[in-house]
Amino acid sequence: MKKEDILQQDFYNILSTKIKTISARYLALKLVELKVKEIVSIDKVKELNYIIISDSKKYDINLHSLDLPDLQIQEI
Amino acid sequence: MELNTPKIDSLRLLIPFNEVEVNQNHKEFLREITTINEDGEVINTKKNNTYRLHSNPCSCHYLYGQTIIQGKNVEVLKLGFSSKTLKTKYFDGINASNVDEIHKFILSENVIAVSKQTLLNARIVDTDICYDTLLKDSNVIDVISHAHKLSKPLKDTKVNAFKERKTNVGIEWSDRNKVGKAYKSKQYLKYYAKALELKNHSSKFYEKYLINNDSIIPYIQDNKLLRVETTIKNGAHWKTYNLKVQTFKDLLNLDLSKHLEIYHRPIAHYMDGQETILPTRTTFTLGEKKDLKLIELYVKLYKIKEYEAIDKLARDIEPTSKQNRYRYVKKLIKLTQINRVEKIIKKDEKQLNIIDELEKLKLIPKNMQ
């Protein structure tokens, strides 16, 4: 699958969790940068904190309380 | 230092003039200033209705004026002040715990005498609410460039990426002085590098009150400290958020951290993360490419903004049918949005320094070097 298509797919997966659009957009970009090919699951731990399991790795995501293109992403 | 929470940065109070005692001996405010020539001839005389001690960055702004309150013309003193009056506690923002300090400062300027109760009961206008954050993985320039590219091409809204190279970088939507009654659709919003702005545009204040403050200095990072600022014009504007905020006291009693919608509404209005992406689209048809090229040419040819080019192009192609023109404009807006996202995808993912990045994104013209 092309990088652009992965990005679109990730973006829509993230949006389905009700993460706001600008944050979702940025998170999808970051995941593509990290070479994520597929999101397997997105679990909400607490407000603004999510665990994303991808095809190969697991990430701890901390979003901003404002809908900004910024977040903290850590491989766990 | 208050981070990651909304706080009051500045505001203006409309105080009934009969509740204020103006210092009759003040050398400028509400005094007649006479200009004479070297022969002692009086050239003109004017009354100074406004005053601010410009040599002091903390100074309040005093303006005598009239305003209409509940259908009546009322004499008022418009008193403007910012969190700079708090000096070393600048980053705390104006709140209920420091209102005494602000009151004392106003009295110390010796321009007016006013009671604290009068201040609290005064009506508020033009409240700037700011949100300071130390960015996590991102940086200010990244935020600005993403925000710029995700901005919707709105016909009546100006998007301005600051051009004051090296000294102040940011992006703003709308014009805080031209919002008028359109406060709901044109609520002012700004993202900027607070540390850079302080060091270069408020250097006097920064050097006097902040530079030696060990609890603040670790946060003053040029490319990490982002300020998001918005302006709520008046009580009617607050009402659009289902909040009843008429007086200064109402504002101080409001827990702004529970009302992030005052940011989220303008963010969603000015930027679009969702509609710019179509799941199956990666390329453009020949017709779409032609449309995009035409928009680009119109921008260059007429030296106009993208949204103006779209409008002009639609009028040239569909001069008579309003309905067709509307559809065409909608189509062109969508196309330009997709085109921007395509550019983001293709963007070099490597981190660039703040200035190179701005130049690359054409937010700063090369000739400003």
Q: What is the pLDDT of residues B35-90, one digit of tens each?
A: 888 888 888 888 888 888 888 889 999 999 988 877 888 899 999 999 999 999 99
Nearest to A66 among B260, B344, B349 (CB): B260
Whether residue B45 is found in the same domain as residue B88: yes
Mean pLDDT over the full length of chain B: 84
Residues of B in contact with A64 (CB under 8 A): 4, 133, 136
Confidence of residue B278 (pLDDT cuts 50, 70, 90): very low
CA distances from B293 to A46, A60, B30, B154, B300 (A): 46, 42, 58, 20, 11
Residue range B296-320: mean pLDDT, rounded: 89
Whether residue B128 is found in the same domain as residue B241: yes
Nearest to B264 among A62, A67, A73 (CB): A67
Residue extents of the structural domains in chain A: 3-75
Find the range with the poorest average confidence among A58-62, B120-124, B165-169, B346-350. Answer: B346-350
CA atoms within 13 A on the CB side of A20: 23
Residue range A11-26: mean pLDDT, rounded: 88
Residues of A in contact with B132 (CB under 8 A): none
Whether residue B162 is predicted with pLDDT greater than 90 in this model: the reply is: no
And the tokens for B164? 């004051």
Domain count, chain B: 2
Whether residue B92 is found in the same domain as residue B40: yes
- The pTM of this model reads 0.76
Query: Cα(A60)–Cα(B283) distance, rounded to whole angstroms?
Result: 33
Mark yes or no for CB contact A70/B143 under 8 Å. yes
Mark yes or no for CB contact B142/A3 under 8 Å. no
Residues of B in contact with A33 (CB under 8 A): 349
CA atoms within 13 A on the CB side of B23: 15
Residue B130 in any domain: the answer is yes
Whether residue B225 is found in the same domain as residue B322: no
SS3 B69: strand
Mark yes or no for CB contact B143/A68 under 8 Å. yes
Q: Count of A–B CB contacts within 8 Å?
A: 86
Report pLDDT for B344. Answer: 52
Q: What percent of chain B stands above pLDDT 90? A: 43
Confidence of residue A45 (pLDDT cuts 50, 70, 90): very high
Check if B133 contacts A (Cβ < 8 Å).
yes
- Residues sharing a CB contact under 8 Å with residue B132, sequence separation 6 or more, in sequence order: B1, B2, B3, B4, B7, B91, B194, B219, B225, B226, B227
Nearest to B137 among A12, A22, A70 (CB): A70
Residue B367 in any domain: the answer is no
Final residue in a domain of this structure, among B270, B304, B323: B270
Whether residue B226 is predicted with pLDDT greater than 80 in this model: the reply is: yes
Check if B268 contacts A (Cβ < 8 Å).
yes
Whether residue B306 is found in the same domain as residue B182: no
Whether residue B204 is found in the same domain as residue B157: yes
Report pLDDT for B232. Answer: 94
Q: What is the pLDDT of residues B171-219, one digit of tens each?
A: 999 887 776 777 788 899 999 999 989 998 899 999 999 988 888 888 8
Residues spanned by the domain of B303: 286-350
Shortest CA distance from B143: residue in chain A = A69
DSSP B89: G
Report pLDDT for B282. Answer: 55
Mark yes or no for CB contact A67/B267 under 8 Å. yes
Report pLDDT for B8. Answer: 96
And the tokens for B357? 């990045």
Check if B264 contacts A (Cβ < 8 Å).
yes
Mark yes or no for CB contact B345/A3 under 8 Å. yes
Residue B219 in any domain: the answer is yes
The count of other CB atoms within 10 Å of the CB of residue B233 is 21
